[in-house]
Amino acid sequence: MIEVRELVKKYGNKTVLDHVSFDVKDGEILGLLGPNGAGKSTTMNIITGNLAATDGTAAIDGHEILEEPLRAKKELGYLPEIPPLYVDMTVKAYLSFIYRLKKCKLPKKEHLEEVCRAVQIIDVYDRVIKNLSKGYRQRIGIAQAMIGNPKVLILDEPTVGLDPKQMIEIRNLIRSFGKTHTVILSSHILSEVQAVCDRVVVINKGKVIADDTAENLSGHLNGRRLRVKVEGPQKMVEEGLKTIPGVKAVYPIVCTEPGCCAFELHSDEHTDIRRQTSAYFKASPWLLLEFTEAEISLENIFLKLTDSKGGKK
Protein backbone atom coordinates (compact mmCIF):
# COMPACT_ATOMS: atom_id res chain seq x y z
CA MET A 1 0.00 0.00 0.00
CA ILE A 2 2.80 2.38 0.89
CA GLU A 3 6.24 1.98 -0.56
CA VAL A 4 9.13 4.06 0.64
CA ARG A 5 12.32 3.61 -1.30
CA GLU A 6 15.75 4.95 -0.45
CA LEU A 7 14.57 8.33 0.80
CA VAL A 8 17.32 10.85 1.25
CA LYS A 9 16.72 14.35 2.54
CA LYS A 10 19.47 16.87 2.85
CA TYR A 11 19.38 20.44 4.07
CA GLY A 12 22.62 21.83 2.74
CA ASN A 13 25.29 19.59 4.19
CA LYS A 14 23.06 18.16 6.86
CA THR A 15 21.61 14.76 6.04
CA VAL A 16 18.28 14.34 7.79
CA LEU A 17 17.24 11.11 6.10
CA ASP A 18 19.78 8.62 4.92
CA HIS A 19 18.38 5.98 2.52
CA VAL A 20 15.22 5.19 4.41
CA SER A 21 13.20 2.33 2.93
CA PHE A 22 10.21 0.37 4.15
CA ASP A 23 6.89 -1.02 2.95
CA VAL A 24 3.52 -0.98 4.57
CA LYS A 25 1.09 -3.68 3.53
CA ASP A 26 -2.62 -3.20 3.08
CA GLY A 27 -4.37 -3.18 6.45
CA GLU A 28 -1.18 -2.95 8.43
CA ILE A 29 -0.42 -0.53 11.26
CA LEU A 30 3.16 0.55 11.14
CA GLY A 31 4.84 2.40 13.96
CA LEU A 32 7.68 4.78 13.27
CA LEU A 33 9.67 4.88 16.42
CA GLY A 34 12.53 7.17 17.17
CA PRO A 35 13.74 9.95 19.44
CA ASN A 36 12.98 13.59 18.69
CA GLY A 37 14.81 14.74 15.59
CA ALA A 38 15.32 11.21 14.27
CA GLY A 39 13.55 11.99 10.98
CA LYS A 40 10.08 10.60 11.68
CA SER A 41 8.21 13.78 10.77
CA THR A 42 10.44 14.37 7.77
CA THR A 43 9.66 10.89 6.49
CA MET A 44 5.95 11.47 6.98
CA ASN A 45 6.08 14.87 5.33
CA ILE A 46 7.70 13.30 2.31
CA ILE A 47 5.18 10.47 2.07
CA THR A 48 2.31 12.96 2.24
CA GLY A 49 3.73 15.30 -0.38
CA ASN A 50 4.46 18.15 2.02
CA LEU A 51 8.15 17.91 1.42
CA ALA A 52 10.18 16.73 -1.52
CA ALA A 53 12.94 14.22 -0.96
CA THR A 54 16.44 14.96 -2.19
CA ASP A 55 16.49 11.44 -3.55
CA GLY A 56 14.31 8.34 -3.46
CA THR A 57 10.58 7.81 -3.90
CA ALA A 58 7.44 7.33 -1.89
CA ALA A 59 4.27 5.83 -3.35
CA ILE A 60 0.76 5.38 -2.01
CA ASP A 61 -1.36 2.67 -3.58
CA GLY A 62 1.06 2.48 -6.49
CA HIS A 63 0.95 6.21 -7.19
CA GLU A 64 4.17 8.04 -6.67
CA ILE A 65 3.63 11.16 -4.59
CA LEU A 66 5.57 13.52 -6.83
CA GLU A 67 4.57 11.94 -10.15
CA GLU A 68 0.84 11.53 -9.56
CA PRO A 69 0.19 13.68 -6.51
CA LEU A 70 -3.57 14.02 -6.93
CA ARG A 71 -4.16 10.29 -7.21
CA ALA A 72 -1.84 9.49 -4.33
CA LYS A 73 -3.41 12.10 -2.08
CA LYS A 74 -6.93 11.01 -2.85
CA GLU A 75 -6.60 8.09 -0.47
CA LEU A 76 -4.62 9.93 2.15
CA GLY A 77 -5.42 11.32 5.57
CA TYR A 78 -2.61 13.13 7.35
CA LEU A 79 -2.24 14.46 10.83
CA PRO A 80 0.97 16.53 10.93
CA GLU A 81 2.97 17.19 14.07
CA ILE A 82 1.02 20.41 14.61
CA PRO A 83 -2.65 19.88 13.71
CA PRO A 84 -3.38 22.10 10.67
CA LEU A 85 -6.35 23.90 12.18
CA TYR A 86 -7.89 27.19 11.13
CA VAL A 87 -8.43 28.30 14.67
CA ASP A 88 -10.93 31.05 13.98
CA MET A 89 -13.41 28.62 12.45
CA THR A 90 -15.89 26.44 14.29
CA VAL A 91 -15.24 22.71 14.36
CA LYS A 92 -18.20 22.21 12.06
CA ALA A 93 -17.08 24.83 9.53
CA TYR A 94 -13.53 23.54 9.59
CA LEU A 95 -14.47 19.91 9.04
CA SER A 96 -16.90 20.92 6.28
CA PHE A 97 -14.02 22.74 4.61
CA ILE A 98 -11.81 19.65 4.83
CA TYR A 99 -14.70 17.57 3.49
CA ARG A 100 -14.92 19.81 0.44
CA LEU A 101 -11.14 20.10 0.11
CA LYS A 102 -10.82 16.32 -0.10
CA LYS A 103 -13.65 16.18 -2.65
CA CYS A 104 -15.39 13.70 -0.41
CA LYS A 105 -18.41 11.88 -1.84
CA LEU A 106 -19.83 10.32 1.33
CA PRO A 107 -23.11 11.72 2.70
CA LYS A 108 -21.83 14.85 4.40
CA LYS A 109 -23.85 15.24 7.57
CA GLU A 110 -23.74 11.57 8.54
CA HIS A 111 -20.06 11.22 7.73
CA LEU A 112 -18.97 14.30 9.71
CA GLU A 113 -21.04 13.20 12.68
CA GLU A 114 -19.65 9.69 12.50
CA VAL A 115 -16.07 10.98 12.52
CA CYS A 116 -16.77 13.42 15.34
CA ARG A 117 -18.36 10.70 17.39
CA ALA A 118 -15.38 8.40 16.81
CA VAL A 119 -12.87 10.95 18.14
CA GLN A 120 -15.34 12.33 20.68
CA ILE A 121 -15.53 15.94 19.66
CA ILE A 122 -19.26 15.98 19.03
CA ASP A 123 -19.83 18.07 22.17
CA VAL A 124 -17.72 20.93 20.78
CA TYR A 125 -19.04 20.68 17.23
CA ASP A 126 -20.32 24.25 17.13
CA ARG A 127 -17.51 25.90 19.05
CA VAL A 128 -14.69 28.02 17.68
CA ILE A 129 -11.45 26.02 17.59
CA LYS A 130 -9.27 28.69 19.21
CA ASN A 131 -11.29 28.37 22.42
CA LEU A 132 -10.65 24.65 22.70
CA SER A 133 -7.99 22.82 24.69
CA LYS A 134 -4.96 21.06 23.28
CA GLY A 135 -6.62 17.67 23.68
CA TYR A 136 -9.60 18.73 21.64
CA ARG A 137 -7.42 20.31 18.98
CA GLN A 138 -5.42 17.14 18.66
CA ARG A 139 -8.60 15.14 18.22
CA ILE A 140 -9.95 17.60 15.64
CA GLY A 141 -6.64 17.03 13.86
CA ILE A 142 -7.28 13.29 13.89
CA ALA A 143 -10.85 13.91 12.71
CA GLN A 144 -9.70 15.92 9.70
CA ALA A 145 -7.33 13.10 8.74
CA MET A 146 -10.19 10.59 8.92
CA ILE A 147 -12.56 12.59 6.76
CA GLY A 148 -13.27 10.94 3.45
CA ASN A 149 -12.50 7.54 4.94
CA PRO A 150 -9.08 7.41 3.26
CA LYS A 151 -7.34 4.07 2.69
CA VAL A 152 -4.16 5.41 4.22
CA LEU A 153 -3.85 7.30 7.49
CA ILE A 154 -0.59 8.92 8.45
CA LEU A 155 -0.52 10.19 12.01
CA ASP A 156 2.41 12.10 13.46
CA GLU A 157 2.39 11.55 17.22
CA PRO A 158 -1.40 11.26 17.42
CA THR A 159 -1.65 11.03 21.20
CA VAL A 160 0.42 14.08 22.08
CA GLY A 161 -1.46 16.37 24.44
CA LEU A 162 -4.12 13.84 25.38
CA ASP A 163 -4.84 12.68 28.89
CA PRO A 164 -4.29 8.98 29.68
CA LYS A 165 -7.94 8.06 29.18
CA GLN A 166 -8.11 9.80 25.82
CA MET A 167 -4.81 8.21 24.85
CA ILE A 168 -6.26 4.75 25.35
CA GLU A 169 -9.40 5.70 23.44
CA ILE A 170 -7.44 7.07 20.51
CA ARG A 171 -5.21 4.01 20.46
CA ASN A 172 -8.29 1.80 20.37
CA LEU A 173 -9.69 3.95 17.60
CA ILE A 174 -6.50 3.60 15.57
CA ARG A 175 -6.50 -0.15 16.16
CA SER A 176 -10.06 -0.49 14.94
CA PHE A 177 -9.34 1.78 12.00
CA GLY A 178 -6.29 -0.32 11.21
CA LYS A 179 -8.43 -3.41 10.62
CA THR A 180 -9.65 -2.00 7.33
CA HIS A 181 -7.09 0.71 6.59
CA THR A 182 -3.39 1.17 6.34
CA VAL A 183 -1.91 3.31 9.09
CA ILE A 184 1.50 4.78 9.80
CA LEU A 185 1.92 6.42 13.14
CA SER A 186 4.96 7.90 14.72
CA SER A 187 5.79 7.99 18.35
CA HIS A 188 8.65 8.18 20.75
CA ILE A 189 6.73 6.14 23.29
CA LEU A 190 7.59 2.47 23.02
CA SER A 191 4.54 1.19 24.90
CA GLU A 192 2.25 3.10 22.57
CA VAL A 193 3.81 1.55 19.51
CA GLN A 194 3.67 -1.88 21.12
CA ALA A 195 0.02 -1.45 22.01
CA VAL A 196 -1.11 -0.33 18.58
CA CYS A 197 1.25 -1.39 15.83
CA ASP A 198 1.68 -4.63 13.93
CA ARG A 199 5.14 -3.69 12.85
CA VAL A 200 7.74 -1.19 13.98
CA VAL A 201 10.36 0.70 12.04
CA VAL A 202 12.93 2.27 14.31
CA ILE A 203 14.64 5.37 13.00
CA ASN A 204 17.64 7.02 14.53
CA LYS A 205 19.63 9.89 13.06
CA GLY A 206 17.86 9.50 9.74
CA LYS A 207 18.56 5.80 9.37
CA VAL A 208 16.32 2.78 9.73
CA ILE A 209 17.98 0.71 12.44
CA ALA A 210 15.29 -1.92 12.87
CA ASP A 211 12.22 -3.12 11.00
CA ASP A 212 10.36 -5.89 12.77
CA THR A 213 7.11 -6.84 14.48
CA ALA A 214 6.55 -5.24 17.85
CA GLU A 215 6.67 -8.66 19.55
CA ASN A 216 9.93 -9.64 17.93
CA LEU A 217 11.51 -6.33 18.65
CA SER A 218 10.61 -6.33 22.32
CA GLY A 219 11.29 -10.06 22.64
CA HIS A 220 14.64 -9.58 21.05
CA LEU A 221 15.37 -6.77 23.40
CA ASN A 222 13.95 -8.48 26.39
CA GLY A 223 17.53 -9.36 27.02
CA ARG A 224 17.04 -9.85 30.73
CA ARG A 225 17.82 -6.87 32.82
CA LEU A 226 17.42 -6.89 36.52
CA ARG A 227 17.74 -4.01 38.88
CA VAL A 228 18.73 -4.73 42.41
CA LYS A 229 19.21 -2.54 45.43
CA VAL A 230 21.38 -4.01 48.09
CA GLU A 231 22.43 -3.04 51.59
CA GLY A 232 26.17 -3.61 51.61
CA PRO A 233 29.53 -2.32 50.39
CA GLN A 234 29.39 -1.49 46.69
CA LYS A 235 32.71 -3.00 45.62
CA MET A 236 32.14 -6.33 47.30
CA VAL A 237 28.54 -6.61 46.18
CA GLU A 238 29.53 -5.86 42.60
CA GLU A 239 32.21 -8.57 42.66
CA GLY A 240 29.72 -10.96 44.16
CA LEU A 241 27.04 -10.23 41.57
CA LYS A 242 29.45 -10.95 38.77
CA THR A 243 29.77 -14.53 40.01
CA ILE A 244 26.06 -15.29 39.49
CA PRO A 245 25.76 -17.79 36.64
CA GLY A 246 24.24 -16.22 33.50
CA VAL A 247 25.09 -12.64 34.39
CA LYS A 248 27.01 -11.06 31.55
CA ALA A 249 27.58 -7.62 32.97
CA VAL A 250 27.00 -5.64 36.12
CA TYR A 251 26.51 -1.87 35.97
CA PRO A 252 26.31 0.23 39.08
CA ILE A 253 23.39 2.68 38.99
CA VAL A 254 22.58 5.72 41.08
CA CYS A 255 21.48 5.04 44.63
CA THR A 256 21.02 7.80 47.19
CA GLU A 257 20.08 5.69 50.15
CA PRO A 258 22.92 5.62 52.71
CA GLY A 259 24.67 2.30 53.11
CA CYS A 260 23.09 0.93 49.98
CA CYS A 261 24.10 0.41 46.38
CA ALA A 262 22.20 -0.46 43.24
CA PHE A 263 23.08 -2.35 40.07
CA GLU A 264 21.69 -3.38 36.77
CA LEU A 265 22.42 -6.96 35.80
CA HIS A 266 22.47 -7.90 32.14
CA SER A 267 22.15 -11.37 30.77
CA ASP A 268 21.68 -12.63 27.25
CA GLU A 269 18.24 -12.88 25.67
CA HIS A 270 17.49 -16.48 26.47
CA THR A 271 18.73 -16.69 30.03
CA ASP A 272 16.48 -15.95 32.96
CA ILE A 273 18.73 -14.95 35.84
CA ARG A 274 16.03 -14.14 38.36
CA ARG A 275 16.21 -17.47 40.17
CA GLN A 276 19.99 -17.52 40.35
CA THR A 277 20.04 -13.95 41.61
CA SER A 278 17.46 -14.66 44.24
CA ALA A 279 19.33 -17.78 45.34
CA TYR A 280 22.56 -15.82 45.48
CA PHE A 281 21.17 -13.27 47.91
CA LYS A 282 19.70 -15.99 50.09
CA ALA A 283 23.21 -17.27 50.62
CA SER A 284 24.97 -13.91 50.76
CA PRO A 285 25.56 -11.75 53.85
CA TRP A 286 23.88 -8.70 52.22
CA LEU A 287 20.24 -7.73 52.30
CA LEU A 288 18.31 -7.44 49.08
CA LEU A 289 16.03 -4.39 49.28
CA GLU A 290 14.65 -4.12 45.77
CA PHE A 291 14.47 -6.52 42.90
CA THR A 292 12.82 -5.50 39.63
CA GLU A 293 12.96 -6.42 36.01
CA ALA A 294 14.17 -3.28 34.26
CA GLU A 295 11.70 -1.77 31.85
CA ILE A 296 12.87 -1.61 28.31
CA SER A 297 12.90 2.02 27.48
CA LEU A 298 13.45 3.60 24.15
CA GLU A 299 16.98 4.40 25.25
CA ASN A 300 17.63 0.74 25.88
CA ILE A 301 16.44 -0.07 22.38
CA PHE A 302 18.73 2.47 20.90
CA LEU A 303 21.65 1.40 22.99
CA LYS A 304 20.99 -2.17 22.02
CA LEU A 305 20.42 -1.50 18.35
CA THR A 306 23.29 0.89 17.94
CA ASP A 307 25.52 -1.40 19.96
CA SER A 308 24.79 -4.38 17.77
CA LYS A 309 25.30 -2.26 14.66
CA GLY A 310 28.60 -1.11 16.00
CA GLY A 311 29.52 -4.70 16.89
CA LYS A 312 29.02 -5.86 13.32
CA LYS A 313 31.41 -3.29 11.99
Partner 1 sequence: MTAIFLRELNSYFISPIGYVYLAAVYVLAGYEYAILILGGSADLSNEFAFLYTVTLLLTPILTMRLMSEDKKQKTEQALFSAPVTSGGIVAGKYFSAFVVYLAGVAITLLHTVFLAPYAKISWMIIIGNYVGIALMGLAGIALCMYISAQTENQIVAAVGGLAAMLLVISLNSLAGVIPFEPVQKALYAISFYSRYHNLTLGIFKVSDLFFFISFAAVFFFLTTRVLEKRRWSGK
How many residues touch partner 1 under the rule CB under 8 A: the total is 32
Residue 213: helix, strand or coil by DSSP?
A: strand
Position 149 contacts partner 1 (CB under 8 A)? no
| Residue 63 in the binding site for partner 1 (CB under 8 A) | no
Q: Does 84 bind partner 1 (CB under 8 A)?
A: yes
Nearer to partner 1, 71 or 227 (CB): 71
Instruction: Give the residues across from 7 on adjacent strands.
Output: 20
Out of 48, 182, 204, 277, which residue is the one contacting partner 1 (CB under 8 A)?
48
- Separation of alpha carbons 122 and 303, rounded Å: 44
What pairs with residue 204 in β-bridges? 207
CB 78 within 8 A of CB 48: yes
Strands 14-24 and 260-267: unpaired
Query: Would you say 7 and 26 are in contact if contact means Cβ atoms under 8 Å apart?
Result: no
What is the nearest approach in angstroms of partner 1 to the Cβ of residue 201?
Answer: 20
Question: In what helix (H) or strand (E) does residue 202 lie, and over which residues does it extend?
Answer: strand 199-204
> Cβ–Cβ contacts within 10 Å for residue 173, how many?
18
* Identity of the amino acid at 123: D
Cα 76 to its chain centre, rounded Å, is 20
Binding mask 1-40 for partner 1 (x = CB under 8 A): --------x-x-----------------------------
Tell me the window of 78-86, 118-126, 171-179, 241-249 that interacts with partner 1 (CB under 8 A).
Answer: 78-86
Laid out side by side, the sheet with 182-187 consists of: 76-79, 152-156, 182-187, 29-33, 199-204, 207-213
Least Å distance between CB 176 and partner 1?
23
**Out of 30, 58, 59, 98, which residue is the one contacting partner 1 (CB under 8 A)?**
98
Task: Check residue 106 for interaction with partner 1 (CB under 8 A).
Answer: no
Least distance from C-beta 215 to partner 1, angstroms? 32
Instruction: Pick between residue 80 and residue 246 the one whose CB is nearest to partner 1.
Output: 80
303 touches partner 1 (CB under 8 A): no
* CA gap 16, 33 in Å, rounded: 15
Would you tell me which residues interact with partner 1 (CB under 8 A)? 9, 11, 42, 45, 48-52, 69-71, 73-74, 76, 78, 80, 82, 84-89, 93, 97-98, 100-103, 144
